[in-house]
A and B are shown apart, each in its own frame.
Chain A
Amino acid sequence: METEKFEPKIVAFVCNWCTYTGADLAGTSRLKQQTNARLIRVPCTGRIDPVFIIKAFEKGADGVLVSGCHPNDCHYNTGNFHARRRWIFFRQLLDFVGIDSSRLYFSWVSASEGKKWVDVVDGVINSVREKGPFNGYKKLNKEIEIPVK
C-alpha cells in the first residue's frame, strides 16, 4: 500500500497592517504560492501571545510562521519591537522543551512585498515538508482522544 504523501499544515500569524496586506497583494497580483498555510490575522505582532503558538502546535500544526511589519514601520510604533524581544526568549524555550526551532519561523513582510511573502511562505512550507510531521503533540492528542464507535 502506498503511503499518503505528507502535506504540512502551517499556521501563519500575520499582522493586519503589513503582512496581511502583503499577502493580499500577492493574491491580487496573481502570484503562485503553495496553499498549506492558514493565515490568522491579528492587529499587530505585539498582540501575538506565545500561547497562540503553543495552541497552534497543539491543534496539529507542523510549523508556525509569525510575520509582521519591518522594524520602525509598526502601525502602533513599538509593537514589533516588544514582540521581537519576546521571540528571542520564546524560540529558545520551545527548542529547549523539544519543539525544534526550525518549525517556528519569523519574518518581516511589508504591505508592498507581495513577492517576498510568496518566497517566505514557499520556503517555510518546503522546509517543513522536508522535516516531516511534528509528532509530539499528535501522540499526546491520541492518548486523550475518546474513541468513536
Chain B
Amino acid sequence: MKQLIDISKELFESKKVGYIIGYAEDKFKRVKPFVAHSSSDAERFVFSNYSVNNLAVYLTRLLKPKESKIGIVAKGCDIKSIIALIQENQIKREDVIIIGVNCNGVVNQIDEQFSKENTAIKCKYCQVRTPAHYDYLVGEIKDVDLPEDKNFAIMQKLESMNAEERWNFWEAEFEKCVKCYACRQVCPLCYCEQCIVDKSMPRWIDSSATVKGNFAWNMIRAFHLSGRCIGCNECERACPADIPLSLLNRKMGMVAMNEFNYRHGTDINQPTLIGNYNVNDKEDFIM
C-alpha cells in the first residue's frame, strides 16, 4: 500500500490534516484501526482484506483537530456512512479528507480466512467496491464478480413465515442478547449524546437483559436506523451473541427502497428520509 502511505505522508507534510484514521497491523499481524498523528506513524498504514472495521464511527467520537482536517481511509461502504453523517449535519464535508480505497471484499480476521466466497455479508451485495465519492483514490479492483448472497434467501424465508413463526424466530435470537450495546457503540450513525435506553425518567426500554427488554431495544434501534442504515453490518460483527441484526436493518432498507426509492448515504445534498415529509406519502394503510 505504498500509494496510501505516500498520500498520507504528503497530507501530514503539507499540514492539511491533524490526524488520519486508518488501519495498521499490531504485533500479532492483525489488522486494526489506527490513528496516525505524524508522517512516521503513517508508514504503518495497511489496507487488506482484513480491514473490516468501519472507521467512520470515529468521526463523531474523536475530537476534531484545531485549524486542520481529519483524514480518513475508507472503503466504499464506509464512505456511505461518511456521506450519511454529512447529510445529517453531524460533520462538515470540508472538515474531512477522504482517502477512498478500491475494495475487493473484507472478512473479520479473528473469525475467518479471506477467500472470494468467504467474505463479510455486506460484501455479497456490495455496489460500491469503487467508492462513489472521495478526495484521493488508491488500490485496484481485482475481481469484479460478487459471490452468492445467502442472506437474501433467509430474508425471503422469514417473509414467507406467518407472524407467530417470525415472533418465535426473533424470540430465540433476542434471548441471546446480553444488552452490552456493542451494536450501538460500533454504529457510525448511533451518535446521540444520550441514547433512549439510557434515559431513566421514564424508562421506556427495560434495561435488564430479559427477552421483553431485548425485543424493545432491538426493535427501537432498528427503527431509529430505518431509512438511515447504510448496511455496513458492523453491529452484527460486534455482536457477541451473533444476533443477525443485519436482517432487521436490511428489511428497513428494503422498505425505504420500495416505498420511497431512497438509499441513504449516496448523495451529500439529498435531504434525509426521516425528518422530512412529503404531502403525497402513501397512506393506504390508514383508515
Name A's B-contacting residues (CB within 8 A).
49-51, 54-55, 58, 71-72, 78, 81-82, 84-101, 105-108, 120, 123, 136-137, 140-141, 143-144
Contact = CB atoms under 8 A, between A and B. Distances in A.
Interface string B50-72: 00000000000000000000000
Contact of A81 (B223, B226, B279): B279
Contact of B287 (A86, A87, A107, A140): A107
Contacts of B226: 89-90, 93
A89 B274 CA distance: 10
A93 B212 contact: no
7 contacts: A49-B204, A71-B283, A92-B252, A97-B166, A97-B248, A140-B215, A144-B210
Contacts of B158: 96
Contact of A106 (B211, B220, B278, B285): B285
Interface in B196-218: 196, 204-205, 210-212, 215-216, 218
B220 to A, nearest CB: 6
Nearest to A140: B212
Contact of A98 (B170, B255, B259, B287): B170
Given A93-B226, A106-B285, A98 B220 contact: no
Interface in B207-253: 210-212, 215-216, 218-220, 222-223, 226-227, 248, 251-252
Contacts, number: 117
B274 A54 contact: no
Contacts of A120: 287
8 tightest Cβ-Cβ pairs between the two chains A and B: A98-B167, A107-B287, A98-B166, A81-B277, A100-B163, A89-B226, A51-B204, A106-B286
A93 B167 contact: no
B281 A85 contact: yes
Contact of A143 (B159, B170, B211, B278): B211
A53 to B, nearest CB: 10
Nearest to A102: B163
A93 B251 contact: yes
A51 B251 contact: no
B255 A88 contact: yes
Contacts of A101: 285
Q: Is the interface of A mostly helix, strand, loop or mixed?
A: helix
Q: Is the interface of B mostly helix, strand, loop or mixed?
A: helix
Interface of B: 158-159, 163-171, 196, 204-205, 210-212, 215-216, 218-220, 222-223, 226-227, 248, 251-252, 255-256, 259, 273-279, 281-283, 285-287
Contacts of A50: 219-220, 223
Contacts of B285: 87-88, 91, 101, 106
Contact of A140 (B196, B204, B211, B248): B211
Contact of A94 (B159, B219, B277): B219
A84 B277 contact: yes
B216 to A, nearest CB: 5
Given A54-B216, A106-B285, 14 more contacts: A71-B283, A81-B278, A81-B279, A85-B276, A93-B222, A96-B158, A97-B170, A97-B218, A97-B248, A98-B166, A101-B285, A106-B287, A136-B171, A144-B212
Contacts of B227: 89
Contacts of B204: 49, 51, 55
Given A84-B277, A93-B252, A54 B287 contact: no
Contacts of A94: 219
Contacts of A84: 277, 281, 283, 286
Nearest to A123: B287
A108 B251 contact: no
